[in-house]
Each structure stands twice: as C-alpha cells, then as structure tokens.
Amino acid sequence: MATYGHSPRGDVGLEQLLDESPAPRARMSAAAETALVCGLGAVLTSMFSLLFGVSLVFGALAVLAGLVGLVSTHRADVAGSALNVLGLLLALLALSLLGIRYLGIDTAVGDPLVPWLTDQLHHWNTKLPQP
C-alpha cells in the first residue's frame, strides 16, 4: 500500500501536498503584462493633448502585444488572458479617444490640470536636496 508522503501518524504536510500536486505549473504571459501596462499608459496619456504621440505609441504597442498575448494564453501552461483582454480594451478605448479628437471633438480633459501639475512638481522638486 502506497502512502504518498504520509507520516506514520497519517497526517500530511502542506509542503508535501504542494510538491506532489498534479496541477501543472503556469507562468504569466509577458505579452499580456505588456498589453496591460501599455494600455494603461495609453489611456492615461490620451487625456493630455501634449502627449498625443505618446498615447498613440502606447496604444499601438498594447494592441500588438495584446494580439500576441491572445495567441500565447491559449496554451494551458500560460496564464494572463484576463490581463490581456483588459489591456486590449484599454488600448482600444485610448485609440478611439484619439480618433474622436481627429473628428474635432476635444477629448483632452486633462489639459486644465497641466498648470496645477506643474505647480505641484515645482513644489515637490524644491523639497529635494539640490546638487
């Protein structure tokens, strides 16, 4: 009779259970993580008209990484399909906001915040030690 790591008393340690688990080890898809990070960057930068080009680059990278992630997360040992879908949705949202801007509708809602952000950056930079 096989005991499968049981002690003489009959209890099994948690480490033994995890080591003997038949569940496959999954790894996170780098493409899915890239899609999510670039999608977030695209959405956050699409709110400012000064960062139009940066948002376009982030959006394009997120879509490309998302398409690669869709292919790679179909394998059983690769996780990250939810990150991939969220990254793609954020990228498509940012690219649609940029497309609406081409139609003449102002979607740069962050532009009024630029003077406040500049003041905040200047305030916190003065608190840092100067070389």
Would you tell me how many other CB atoms lie within 10 Å of the CB of residue 96? 13
Q: What is the pLDDT of residues 5-61, one digit of tens each?
A: 555 555 667 777 666 666 667 788 899 999 999 999 999 999 988 889 999 999 999
User: What is the pTM assigned to this prediction?
Assistant: 0.70
Q: Is the pLDDT of residue 102 over 80?
A: yes
Q: Rounded to an integer, what distance in angstroms lies between the CA atom of residue 7 and that of residue 116?
A: 66
Q: According to the model, what pLDDT value does residue 130 have?
A: 79
The two structure tokens encoding residue 30? 């780098």
Q: According to the model, what pLDDT value does residue 15 have?
A: 74
Q: Is the pLDDT of residue 1 over 70?
A: no
Q: For 47, phi and psi rounded to 5 degrees?
A: -80, -10
Length of the chain: 131
Q: Rounded to an integer, what distance in angstroms lies between the CA atom of residue 83 and that of residue 34?
A: 9
Q: According to the model, what pLDDT value does residue 14 have?
A: 73
Q: What is the pLDDT of residues 70-87, one digit of tens each?
A: 998 888 888 888 999 999
Q: Rounded to an integer, what distance in angstroms lies between the CA atom of residue 36 and that of residue 79?
A: 14
Q: What is the pLDDT of residues 104-128, one digit of tens each?
A: 888 888 888 889 989 999 999 999 8
Residue 54 DSSP class: H
Helix (H) / strand (E) element for 28: namely: strand 27-28
Would you tell me how many other CB atoms lie within 10 Å of the CB of residue 55? 24
Per the DSSP assignment, residues forming a β-bridge with 78 are 27
Alpha-carbon torsion (115, 117, 119, 122), positive or negative:
negative
DSSP string, 108-125: -TTGGGHHHHHHHHHHHH
